[in-house]
Amino acid sequence: MYWVFIDILMKYNGLNLLYNYINMGIIMGLMLLDALRDIPTEYYDEEYNSITLPQDHLFPGFITVLAAFCKKNKISERDFDTAGPDQSGYLRAIEYYKTLWGIDNYGPIRVNQGKNYSGLAHLDNEEQVDSATTCINSCIRAFIQGCKTPPPGLQELLFVVGELHDNVWSHGKASGFSLAQKTKNPLNRNDYIIEFALADHGYGFLSELKRSKLTERFNIVSHRDALDWCLKEGNSSKHADLYDGWEQSVPRDFNGYAFSSSVSVRDDDNNHQGLGLAHLIKLVEKYNGELQIASGDVCLVINGHERNYVDLPVDWKGVAISCRLSLEELSNNKNEMDVEADDDELFQIMTLLQSGDI
């Protein structure tokens, strides 16, 4: 009877229904927005600097926010309480304890790592960022091994994962975490949900734009203004064209003070064009997915082409992103919304990916 009900639901936009039913509690699980709302207000005890988790399934979006929160607040393993052995075992399996506290006492061999999940990655240096991108993209490729032909949306997803990792490292500076996981779609026995999530406690969109002196230039006054600005293709606080050319450059590994405090200094040579978020939204809309992206006091929730802004009770000082896509949707060929041919950078990378040279 359950699957008859589910099959009826799948006739009406299954992935969006999944999101709605999770929110209504019919399908239990905590997502990124739940973490942003409830970790600082319900699960965190400021007096004892401890976390007590509820008895629910934790999706990657929740887990990456939780990891960034624990890291920022220096919560110890001793003060981190799970809902029971099943939840604790799950977190140990995805290397949560190993990544946060260097504790790896998970007994079984992780036979599903790289197949059903990537493992939690701490983006604490440039090499780890590259490693996390490679690991998650390899994991995503493994997700689709059962498909007769590679899903048309796969290459676009791989590209977006790399762009977002690059953005988090550029803006978050060692405070970011990422995770990917494949789960059965409870609304379709023949489908899987791929979720990729990351969160950092960096500057956040508004603070980053203030640092780059763009808020006055573009009349950006709120976190929502900053979020909207950063979602537009070509906009980036680290866009090479927006630097005035007078800043002094220092190497990434330079720890001293080469110039006086009055001299503007660039401490990185990352000139990415900030395309990750714009491409992510295109991907979500093109393949009817879900996206939750938050910074400061606001979270944007996208379901297909529907957008809603949710106010957060406590500011998230950084950026948090969760993207959920149906493997069945990714397998649909939707050429009418392909990325523009004049985007030379994306076109070249996509060509290399498809040829197998990357």
Tens of pLDDT, residue by residue over 83-96, are 999 999 999 999 99
Neighbours of 4 (CB within 10 A): 7
Which pLDDT band holds residue 351 (cuts at 50, 70, 90)? very low
CA distance 73 to 347: 41
Write out the two tokens for 132. 């996390």
Start-to-end Cα distance in the chain: 47
Asked whether residue 112 carries a pLDDT value surpassing 90, the answer given is no
pLDDT for res 55: 92
Nearest CA to 157 among 124, 193, 127, 187? 193
DSSP assignments along 301-341, one per residue: EEETTEEEEEEEEEEEEEEEEEEEEEHHHHTS--GGGPPPT
The Cβ-side half-sphere exposure at 281, using a 13 Å CA radius, reads 17
Which pLDDT band holds residue 40 (cuts at 50, 70, 90)? very high
Read off the pLDDT of each residue in 51-78 and give the average, rounded to a whole number: 97
Asked whether residue 9 carries a pLDDT value surpassing 50, the answer given is no
Write out the two tokens for 355. 């040829």
Q: Give, in order, the Cα–Cα distances in Å from 130 to each of 134, 157, 270.
A: 6, 16, 14
One-letter amino acid at 6 equals: I
CA distance 115 to 138: 9
pLDDT for res 340: 44
Task: Identify the weakest region by mean pLDDT among 41-50, 126-135, 166-175, 326-335.
Answer: 166-175
Asked whether residue 136 carries a pLDDT value surpassing 60, the answer given is yes
Write out the two tokens for 326. 């149906």
Read off the pLDDT of each residue in 128-133 and give the average, rounded to a whole number: 77
CA distance 228 to 288: 20
Span 259-312, pLDDT tens digits: 344 444 444 444 334 446 888 888 889 889 999 999 999 999 999 889 999 999
Please give the residue that has the higher pLDDT: either 235 or 313. 313
pLDDT for res 137: 77
CA distance 322 to 343: 25
Span 169-196, pLDDT tens digits: 666 566 789 998 988 888 888 888 989 8
pLDDT for res 31: 96
CA distance 294 to 334: 28
Nearest CA to 32 among 304, 337, 237, 312? 312
Read off the pLDDT of each residue in 310-326 and give the average, rounded to a whole number: 94
pLDDT for res 276: 66
| Fold category of 19-240+268-334 in CATH | Heat Shock Protein 90 (3.30.565)
Q: Is 25 helix (H, G, I), strand (E, B) or coil?
A: coil
CA distance 77 to 87: 14
pLDDT for res 41: 98
pLDDT for res 28: 67
Instruction: Calculate what percentage of the chain has a pLDDT beyond 90.
Output: 37
